[in-house]
Amino acid sequence: MMNTANTSEISLNTEVEALKERFSNTQELYREVCALLFFRYGTTPTANKLYQLVRRGSMSAPSQALVTFWEELREKSRTRIEHPDLPETLTSAAGELIATLWRHAQEAAQASLETFKAEAQVMVDNARMDVAAFELERDRALQREQTTQQSLAAAEQEIISYREELAAANEARLALTKAIEQAQHDNQTLQQQLHDVRKEFSTELEKLHHAAQLSETRSRETEKRLMLDLDRERLAAVKAQRETDAVRAAAKASEAQQQTALKEVEQQLQSSQHECGKLEGALQALHLSLERSDTELKSLYQQAAQAKAEIATLREQQKPSHQQKPAKRKGMKVLEGRGRRSPTAKP
């Protein structure tokens, strides 16, 4: 059953396509499709069905074509019914049949028209909703376009800024390239100078090496002369060697003692570092004491000088008496001895 319906639908669509090629007028095409549905396929044509098959013209075109088709069908049927060859009973029955068919066709057409109107209204509402959605989308698109234009302007400004930065960077790169080339040239110059300096250094080094060889030769000759002198002095050195051995033995003993004392001193040094402050204070006090002693010593020297002067005066006074000279000289020696001992005894 389903295969038969699909076959009929395919055949109907094929014939409708053939009618579309034959009839360019929309109303004529709709009337021919009405006749095809009604007479060939036994289907009551409706406006919705016609529009689905043909899809030409406005929404009212299939309804108008359907009304025209029923009017023509009624006129043609009435003419045939009023044919003089038909019996009156058959004519009456045929009239009633045609009237019934016409009424049912009108009802079906009206129902189809109402359905078509409802569907058309739904389609109109959907179209309006689509238009509203399209307008909303258009407004959004305009807004996006404005935003895009602003972004594009900002991007163009950024591009201009980037181009300026790129130009500055190119200038800096050119300057850096020139500086690098100058540095490379300076480096080559320095390399050449270094090569020249190394060459001069090598020459000077060779000269110094030659001079060192000459000096070594002279040194060897001098060493030979010294060896001869050393042989002459070797006999004299034997005696000195003996004395040196004795001194070395004493020095070794002294060195051992000094090593022991040094270890003790190192141990004592660690323990006596904290007394450095006190010792420094004591040293300052000792310096002051030495200064005072020096002052006192100078005073004693002055006293001694005065005593010598007095002794000289006394000697001059005692010269006439010859007998008293020994006693005076003896007293003077005592005084001189006292004068000499007092400066050394004081410190």
Instruction: Supply the Cα-derived Rg of the chain in whole angstroms.
Output: 75
Domain extent at residue 102: 2-145
Contact 29, 20 (CB under 8 A): yes
Domain assignment present for residue 156? The answer is no
What is the pLDDT averaged over residues 254-283? Answer: 79
Angle among Cα 243, 247, 253 to the nearest 5 degrees reads 150
pLDDT top residue among 102 and 122? 122
DSSP string, 187-228: HHHHHHHHHHHHHHHHHHHHHHHHHHHHHHHHHHHHHHHHHH
Closest CA to 68 of 101, 109, 104: 109
d(CA 70, CA 324): 203
Domain assignment present for residue 139? The answer is yes
What is the pLDDT averaged over residues 281-290? Answer: 83
pLDDT surpassing 80 at residue 193: yes
Domain assignment present for residue 233? The answer is no
Domain assignment present for residue 42? The answer is yes
Of 93, 115, 145, the position where a domain reaches its end is 145
Round the average pLDDT of the chain to a whole number and report it.
78
Domain assignment present for residue 274? The answer is no
Band the pLDDT of 85: cuts 50, 70, 90. Answer: low
What is the pLDDT averaged over residues 192-199? Answer: 86
Supply φ then ψ for residue 219, to 5 degrees: -65, -40
The total domain count for the chain is 2
Of 145, 166, 183, the position where a domain reaches its end is 145
Domain assignment present for residue 197? The answer is no
Which pLDDT score is estimated for 200?
87
pLDDT surpassing 60 at residue 84: no
Domain assignment present for residue 330? The answer is yes
pLDDT top residue among 166 and 115? 166
For the question of whether the overall pTM of this predicted structure is more than 0.75, the answer is: no
What is the pLDDT averaged over residues 36-55? Answer: 87
Return the residue matching tokens 């300026």.
164
Band the pLDDT of 12: cuts 50, 70, 90. Answer: confident
pLDDT surpassing 70 at residue 106: no
Domain assignment present for residue 286? The answer is no
pLDDT surpassing 50 at residue 327: no
Which pLDDT score is estimated for 341?
47
pLDDT surpassing 60 at residue 70: yes
Which pLDDT score is estimated for 79?
47
Residues 6+ apart with CB under 8 A from 22: 32
Taking the alpha carbons of 112, 114, 117, 122 in that order, is the dihedral positive or negative?
A: negative
Of 145, 170, 188, the position where a domain reaches its end is 145
